[in-house]
Amino acid sequence: MKLPRTYYNYTSYLGTITALIAWITIIFFVIQINVFGVENVYFDLFAYMVTPGFLLLGLILIPFGMWRKKRQIKRGTQTPDDKLLVIDLKDKKTRNALFIFSVVTVFFVLFTVIGSYKGFHYTESVEFCGTLCHDVMEPEYVAYQHSPHAKVKCAECHVGEGVDFYVKSKMSGLRQVYKNFLGTFNRPIETPIANLRPARETCEKCHWPEKFYTNKIRNEKYYLADSANTEWNVIMKMRIGADHSALGNTGGIHWHINKDVEITYQSDEKRKTIPWVKYLNKKTGKETIFLESDTSIHPTVKEVANSEKRTFDCMDCHNRPSHRYLAPSNYVNSLFAGNQISKSVPYLKAAAMEGLNDVYSTKDSARMGIDKQITDYYKKSFPDLFTKYQKEIKSAITAIQTEFSYNTFPEMKVRYTAYPMNIGHLEFNGCFRCHDDKHKSADGKVISKDCNLCHTIIGQGITDSIKYTTINGTLEFQHPVDIGEEWKTTNCSECHLEPF
């Protein structure tokens, strides 16, 4: 079989070999994946993204080599045939070349179509987003797997529908991949607050504001750092909707997303301090502006006018719907409540907090540190307890290390303090960023911090002597350890963010 004279050059040979190898590799991976059902991120990556790139490169090199050869012929050993490209079907060489070219092109196009379709789906998959750069995405991926959204694809919140956001997110993704190779990404990685698609186009595809959630009872258990690991209960009615279900979102927490309500606010970049809030009643058109009364924080009228404002949506409260890193006290409480560690081992809560207060720099040092600190705590202060409960303490250490590994990622500097969570007010100010009795309107109204506005306490206290009221009644909050009236004046987060 003869090919055009210009084909015989090294560049075109290289192109042919590259394309051939790429071709065989693709077929190999595609068979592995589709016939033998191999599930491997790297197989997918090679089959649908890397190797097709080489195939394309090879196919470009072939005509490039021919073009160069042709130019050389033109300069040096020029012959009349080479002056212009003649496609003469009577010529056997041309026929062969054309045949090969057509077959290859047809297959190439077919593969590109299937490949890019698969590639598109692949880049939208949870494995792609969550595991490709393991170390970098590990915190988000692990937290995601333990979240209520473990079966919702990353892309459904981070990309959404439509080509524009697909392209936008992939371009920003490419930058991340590049940074990943260079190792120049931030630890912890930044929250994409500004680039995140509005809730309207993501969350509201599955949950929508008109969908009414009624009130909900929560029963939380806390364990104090004393000898008995005293079990303290708080039973609250969360007032998610109005008290009467027929009233839907016209009251309660989800009042914020009622279609007649629009709240806009101005804040710093991280949305930590919110000095200016506007509530627009869309039905009556009435506007109420609340200004932080502390004049050292609040902006001037001009600053407000010139600043960017944000319209309140789901993510202003639910900002960690799938990447929630719990505070140590929080997950140790859950271990007790779930009987995974034993309440009957004296001082176990105190010992656990001892082991978890340190900030570790690697997973291994954390694992060893937790073990050592808890063991030392008992050996030094309560050696007889240590002998008596050695087995329970050992298994508690393993459970605590496991829970730690779901919530703390030393290499990425991710622990509960890394990303503020805006729902609630215990560790971070969250709702209290506005609801602090200090944001005042011109007619003297404040955004309320009333403890019964968002939830009511219907039971609290130590197990076996819990004080209850009726479901529609309320108890005044009693702080689990005596701090006097301080919880009324000091924000919870001032004591609770660190070191608990």
Q: How far is the CB of 267 from ligand HEC (least distance, A)?
A: 8
Q: Is 224 in the site for ligand HEC (CB under 6 A)?
A: yes
> Would residue 479 be called left, alpha or beta, if left means φ above 0 and alpha means ψ between -120 and 50 degrees?
beta
**Does 309 participate in binding ligand HEC (rule CB under 6 A)?**
no
Number of neighbours of residue 150 by Cβ within 10 angstroms: 11
Q: Is 426 in the site for ligand HEC (CB under 6 A)?
A: yes
Least Å distance, CB 159 to ligand HEC, is: 10
Closest approach of ligand HEC to the CB of residue 480, in Å: 4
Nearer to ligand HEC, 3 or 240 (CB): 240
Q: What whole-number distance in Å separates Cα of residue 239 and Cα of residue 149?
A: 23
Spatial contact of 295 and 287, defined as CB atoms under 8 Å apart: no
| 129 touches ligand HEC by CB under 6 A | yes
Residue from 118, 324, 415, 425 binding ligand HEC (CB under 6 A): 425
The residue range among 291-299, 338-346, 364-372, 428-436 that interacts with ligand HEC, by the rule CB under 6 A, is 428-436
- Of the two residues 18 and 491, which places its CB atom closer to ligand HEC in the complex? 491
430 contacts 411 by C-beta, under 8 angstroms:
no
Contact flag: residue 322 with ligand HEC (CB under 6 A): yes
Place of tokens 């924000």: 491
Of 26, 154, 351, 475, the one binding ligand HEC (CB under 6 A) is 154
CA distances (Å), 119 to each of 47, 124, 443, in order? 9, 9, 58
Based on the shown chain and the rule CB under 6 A, indicate whether residue 148 belongs to the binding site for ligand HEC. yes
Query: Binding to ligand HEC by residue 279, rule CB under 6 A?
Result: yes
Q: Residue 7 or 185: which CB sits closer to ligand HEC?
A: 185
d(CA 472, CA 115): 60
Nearest to residue 84, comparing CAs of 138, 181, 6, 157? 6
Residues 187-216 that bind ligand HEC (CB under 6 A): 189, 191-193, 196, 199, 202-207, 209, 213, 216
Asked if 158 is part of the footprint of ligand HEC (rule: CB under 6 A), the reply reads yes
Contact 240, 246 (CB under 8 A): no
411 is a contact residue toward ligand HEC (CB under 6 A): no
- Report CA 47 to chain centroid distance, whole Å: 27
How far apart (Å, rounded) are the C-alpha atoms in residues 173 and 161? Answer: 17
Size of the site for ligand HEC (CB under 6 A): 95
Select the span of 99-107, 125-133, 297-305, 388-396 touching ligand HEC (CB under 6 A).
Answer: 125-133
Choice from 65, 248, 252, 275 touching ligand HEC (CB under 6 A): 252
Count the neighbouring beta carbons within 10 Å of the beta carbon of residue 11.
Answer: 16
Q: Does 289 bind ligand HEC (CB under 6 A)?
A: no
Residue 319: partners with Cβ closer than 8 Å, 6 or more residues away: 420, 421, 422, 423
For the segment 433-492, give every residue that binds ligand HEC (CB under 6 A): 433-435, 445, 447, 449-451, 453-455, 477, 479-481, 483, 486-487, 490, 492
Site for ligand HEC in 351-410 (CB under 6 A): none
Instruction: Between 118 and 278, name the residue whose CB sits nearer to ligand HEC.
Output: 278
Stretch that binds ligand HEC, among 40-48, 111-119, 162-170, 321-329 (CB under 6 A): 321-329
Nearer to ligand HEC, 45 or 203 (CB): 203
φ, ψ (nearest 5 deg) of residue 315: -75, -10
The verdict on 337 binding ligand HEC (CB under 6 A) reads no
Comparing CA positions, the residue from 336, 324, 374 lying closest to residue 222 is 336
Placement of tokens 């998610």 in the chain = 240
Measured between alpha carbons, how far is residue 181 from residues 47, 178, 350, 413, 477 in Å?
21, 5, 42, 19, 51
Query: Which residues, in sequence order, are CB contacts of 377 under 8 Å at separation 6+?
Result: 347, 350, 351, 354, 355
- Work out how close the CB of 498 gets to ligand HEC at its nearest, in angstroms, rounded to a whole number: 12
Residue number with CB closer to ligand HEC (248 or 321): 321
x-marked contacts with ligand HEC along 35-74 as a string, rule CB under 6 A:
----------------------------------------
Q: What is the CA radius of gyration of the chain?
A: 32
CA–CA distance from 185 to each of 14, 97, 258, 270, 296 (Å)? 37, 49, 39, 19, 35
**Is position 424 an interface residue for ligand HEC (rule: CB under 6 A)?**
yes
